[in-house]
Structure 1
Amino acid sequence: MKLFRVFSVLLIFILIAWVPMSCKKKYTPKPKAYFRIDFPQKEYKNWNLDFPFSFDRLSMTKIAKDQSRDAEKYWINIQYPEYRATIHLSYKTIDQNLEEYLEDSRKLAYKHSIVADAIAEQLYINPKENVYGTIYRITGNAASSIQFTATDSTKHFLRGALYFKERPNRDSLAPVIKFIDKDIVRLIESLKWK
Structure 2
Amino acid sequence: MKHPTTAIAFISAAVLTFVSCTGEYSPRPRGYFRIDFPEREYITYEGDCPFTFSYPAFAEINDDDGRLAHPCWFNIDFPGYRGRLHISYSEIDNNLVDYLEDARKLAFRHTVKADAIDERMFINRADDVYGTLYDIKGNAASAVQFYLTDSSSHFFRGALYFNVTPNRDSLDPVIDYFIEDIIYLMESFAWK
On whether the aligned pair clears a TM of 0.5, the verdict is yes
The residue type paired with residue 34 of structure 1 is Y
Question: Does residue 50 of structure 2 align to residue 55 of structure 1?
Answer: no
TM-score by length of 1: 0.87
Question: How far apart in 2 are the matches of 1:21 and 1:167?
Answer: 39
The residue type paired with residue 133 of structure 2 is I
Tell me the SS of whatever aligns to 1:95. Answer: coil
Aligned to 1:25: 24
How many angstroms does 1:30 deviate by? 3.4
Fraction of identical pairs, as percent: 48
Q: CA deviation digits over 1:100-132, x for unaligned, max 9? A: 000011000000000000000000000000000
In structure 2, relative to structure 1, the CA distance for the partners of 1:22 and 1:36 (3 Å cut) is closer
Structure 1: 4+ residue segments shifted above 4 A? 17-24
Q: CA deviation digits over 1:13-67, x for unaligned, max 9? A: x7xx978987963443532x21101111011111101111110011110001101
Aligned to 1:134: 132
**What are the within-5 Å matches in structure 2 for residues 36-51 of structure 1?**
36-51=34-49
Question: How far apart in 2 are the matches of 1:22 and 1:167?
Answer: 39
Tell me which moved more, 125-134 or 37-46. Answer: 37-46
Question: How far apart in 1 are the matches of 2:99 and 2:89?
Answer: 11
Greater radius of gyration (CA): 1
Aligned to 1:143: 141
Tell me the SS of whatever aligns to 2:93. Answer: coil
Instruction: Choose which of 81, 93, 96 in structure 2 pairs with 1:95.
Output: 93
Question: How far apart in 1 are the matches of 2:191 and 2:65?
Answer: 24
Tell me the SS of whatever aligns to 1:99. Answer: helix
Q: CA RMSD in A?
A: 2.0
Aligned to 2:157: 159
Question: Does residue 184 of structure 2 align to residue 186 of structure 1?
Answer: yes
Which consecutive residues of structure 1, in runs of 5 or more, have no partner in the other structure?
Answer: 1-13
The residue type paired with residue 88 of structure 1 is H
Aligned to 1:86: 84
How many angstroms does 1:155 deviate by? 0.3
Aligned to 1:174: 172
Question: How far apart in 2 are the matches of 1:139 and 1:100?
Answer: 25
